[in-house]
Chains A and B, each alone.
Chain A
Amino acid sequence: MLESIFRELILEHYRKPRNKGALENPTVTVSMRNPMCGDEIDLMLTIDGDRIEAVGFTGQGCSISQASVSMMTQGVIGRSIDAALDLEKRFVALMRDDEGASEDRKLGDLRALQGVAKLPVRIKCALLGWNALDEAIKAHQKSPTGAMGEKLEFEDLTELPAGFDPATHKDDLP
C-alpha cells in the first residue's frame, strides 16, 4: 500500500522538482495555501494568447504535493489552455479513482500518483498545484493581459479529508 504511494518516480520529483523557481515575467501568479497543513505554492505562468509558454513554481510541501505540481508543470508547458484543462480533468478523475482513469495514457508520469486516490486525507495534497493552475487559468481568461505581475492569493479550503466526496467535488470543477 505505502509502496504504491511513495514510489521512486514520486520521490524523484519530490527531491528534484522540475520547473521549480520563479519565472521572470509571468502573466499570472497564483499563491495557493493549504491552511490546515501549511503546504504552499506560488505558481507562475506565462500565457501567450491560448498557449502556456512557461510555468514555474516556488514553495514547500510534502512529497505528494511537490511531485504532483512538478509533474503538472511538465504536462502543461507548451500546451494550449484547453489541453491543460483537459489534463486537469483527467488528473482529478485519477484522484477520484474513476473507472479507467488509471489506464489513461494521456496522464503520463502523473499516473504514478494513482495510489493517492486510496488515501482520502492526502488527495488534497495532490490537488494543491492543480487548484492553483485552475485559478491561474480563470484569472487569465478574465483578463488575458491584465493580471500581469499581480499575485492572486488563495486558501485551499475545499473540505476533503473527512471522506473525499467525488459527487460534491465534481460540482466546483470546471
Chain B
Amino acid sequence: MSAPKTASQADSLPAELTESPLDIDAIRAEFPILDQQVHGHRLVYLDSAASAQRPAVVIRTIADYYTKDHANVHRGAHELSVRATRRYEDARGKVARFLGAGRADEVVFTRSTTESINLVSMTWGIANLGPGDVVVVSEMEHHSNLVPWQIVCERTGAEIQAIRVTDDQRLDLDHLDALLGSGDVRLVATGHVSNAIGTIHPVDEIARRAHEAGALYLIDGAQAAPQLPIDVRAIDCDFYTFSGHKACGPTGIGALWARRELLDAMPPYQGGGEMIEEVRIERSTYAAVPHKFEAGTPNIAGAIGFGAAVDFLQALDPETIHAHEKRIARLVLERLADEFKAITLYGPAPDVARAGVVSFTLADIHPHDLATILDHEGVAIRAGHHCCQPLMRRLGVAATARASFYLYNAEDDLEALVRGLHRAQELFRV
C-alpha cells in the first residue's frame, strides 16, 4: 500500500508528463451519461466535486443484484438472504481495503459523509465532550464538518475553535499548534481535500500533532477518497469518512472508518433492528460493531454498488488518478491565467500538489451568470459558496465559480470551458 500524498510532498508535474496517465477515451466510454448533448453541445461535466458520475459497471452491479440476489441481510435462513448478505459484507471488505483499513469490521456503512460525521458527533461526541473541552475544526471546512460539531458543542458545553487559513490558502499549522497548546482539545476534525479550492491538507502531520496533544483526529475525506490513495493506518487518523456518490458510486451510501476500539466504546447511533443482540422490554444489548451502528435494513444495493465503485477506482489505481488530477489542475490553472486577464483564481499555486477543483471569478461577471452561460455551452460547473461560507468570508468573496475536473475530464473539456468563458466575456462586454 502506498503512502498518502501530502502537500508537503508537493511534487510538481514531471516535464515528460505531457499526456494524462489515464486513458481518458477508454474511461469516458465506461460512463454512459457523458455521451449526450446539452443545449446542443457535447456535455462537459465539470461538477464532479458536487457529485461524480457512475461507470456502467456500477449501474450493472446494482441491476444484477436486484435481478438475482436481493433479500434482506443478516436474517434470512434462505439462499437469497445468504447471497445478499455475502455481497453486502463483501462490499464492506472492498471499502475497507480501499481505505487501507486493517479490518472490514472497522467500516460502518452510512448514508453519506454527512451522516458519518453526525454519527461520530452524536455518539463519540455526546459521550466524550463536556464543558471546558474543545473541538478544533478549520475555516476551510465544508458545512458538513462544521455544523455537527456546533450542535454537539451546544449540547455538551464544549467549545469549537477553528484553524486559520493562511494567505496562500493552506491550513495554518502553527495556529493548530497554538490551539492544541491549551491542552483542552479532545478532537481535531478537518477535511483532507478542500471541495472549494482544491487544497490538499497534510493530514499525517495533523494526525501527529493532534495525537501528541492527546486529541483524536477525524478526517472528512469526501473529496480525497475519490482521487487520492488513502491509507488510514499510514495517516494514523482515528476516523475517516467519505461518500459513495463522489467516488463513482451510488447516492445514499457512505462510509465511516474508525479504529475498532473507538467503535467498541461508542454508544449506538440509532436504535432498531439489525443493531441488537438481545432485546427485552426494559433494555437491550447491542450487536458487535459495525452492526451496532447500522440500525434497520441498510442500503444494501447502495453498498454493493459502492463496492463496485471502489473496485473501479482501485483498478485505475488511485496513485494514477491523483497524477492525472495534479496534471489537469495545473493545465487548467495555467491556461485560465494565460487566457483571461480578468480572472481571479483561488486555491494553491499550480505547482503545488492539489486536487482538480478550480475556483475562480471572472471580471465582474457574477458566478451564477457564468454558470448559466456555460450551461448553454454544455459545460456544467457550480457557482456559489460551495457549502464553505466561513472560507468564502476568509477569501473575501461572496461566491465563486467552480470547475471540478475528474478522471473523465481532459484538455478538450478545458477548451470547452475556455470557449464558454470567452462567450461570457462577450455577453458581458468585458
A38's partner among B365, B372, B399, B429 (CB-CB below 8 A) is B399
- What is the count of residue pairs linking A and B with beta-carbon distances less than 8 angstroms? 46
Give a binary string over B260-297; 1 marks a CB under 8 Å from any A CB, 0 the rest: 00000000000000000000000000000000000000
Q: How far is B264's CA from A166's CA once the two chains are assembled, in angstroms?
A: 53
- A6, B385: Cβ atoms under 8 Å? no
Whether A5 contacts B372 by the Cβ 8 Å rule is: yes
The interface residues of chain A lying within 8 Å CB-to-CB of B383 are: 37
Which of B369, B384, B427, B429 has a CB less than 8 Å from the CB of A36? B384
Cβ A63 vs Cβ B366 within 8 A: yes
For A, the interface residue count at a CB cutoff of 8 angstroms equals: 21
Decide: B384 and A6 in contact? CB cutoff 8 A: no
Determine the residue in chain A with the shortest Cβ distance to B370.
A62
Given A2-B376, A38-B398, A63-B369, verify A11-B429 contact (CB < 8 Å): yes
* B427 lies within 8 A of A125 (CB): no
| Interface residue? B179 (CB, 8 A) | no
Q: How far is the CB of B385 from chain A (nearest CB, A)?
A: 5
**0/1 interface trace, chain A 63-77, chain B, CB 8 Å (1 if under):** 110000000000000
B83 near A: Cβ within 8 Å?
no
A63 to B373, CA, bound (A): 12
B385: which A residues are within 8 A, CB to CB? Answer: 38
B412 at the A interface (CB under 8 A): no
Do residues B372 and A119 form an inter-chain contact, with CB atoms below 8 A?
yes
* Inter-subunit contact B384/A37 (CB<8 Å): yes
**Does the CB pair A62–B369 fall under 8 Å?**
yes
Instruction: For the complex, give the distance between the alpha carbons of A148 and B224 in Å.
Output: 50
What residue in chain A is nearest B392 (Cβ atoms)?
A38
* Binary flags per residue of A132-165, CB closer than 8 Å to B gives 1, else 0: 0000000000000000000000000000000000
Question: Which chain A positions have C-beta within 8 A of B367?
Answer: 62
- Tell me the chain B residues, 229-277 only, with Cβ under 8 Å from chain A: none
Does B79 have its Cβ within 8 Å of any Cβ on chain A?
no
| Contacts of B315-369 to chain A: CB distance below 8 A | 364-369
Annotate A28-70 by CB proximity to B: 1 below 8 A, 0 otherwise. 0000000011110000000000000000000011111000000
Q: Which residue of B lies closest to A15 (CB)?
A: B364
B428 interface hit (Cβ, 8 Å): yes
A64 touches B369 (CB 8 A): yes
Q: Which chain A residue has the least Cβ–Cβ distance from B364? A: A15
Q: Do residues B369 and A3 form an inter-chain contact, with CB atoms below 8 A? A: no
Specify the chain B residue showing the minimal Cβ separation from A59.
B398
Residues 9-37 of chain A, each 1 if its beta carbon lies under 8 Å from chain B, else 0? 00100110000000000000000000011
* Distance of A2 Cα from B379 Cα, bound (Å): 14
A36-B384, A60-B398, A63-B366 known; A11+B372 contact, CB < 8 A: no
Quick check: A37 and B399 within 8 Å, CB to CB?
yes
Q: Is the CB of B399 within 8 A of A6?
A: no
Q: With a CB–CB cut-off of 8 A, which chain A residues contact B366?
A: 14, 61-63
Residue in chain A with minimal CB distance to B384: A37
The answer on a CB contact under 8 Å between A2 and B373 is: yes
Further 5 A-B residue pairs, CB within 8 A, beyond A6-B428, A61-B368 = A11-B428, A62-B366, A62-B367, A62-B368, A122-B372
Q: Give residues in B with beta carbon < 8 Å to A.
A: 364-369, 372-373, 376, 383-385, 389, 392, 398-399, 423, 427-429
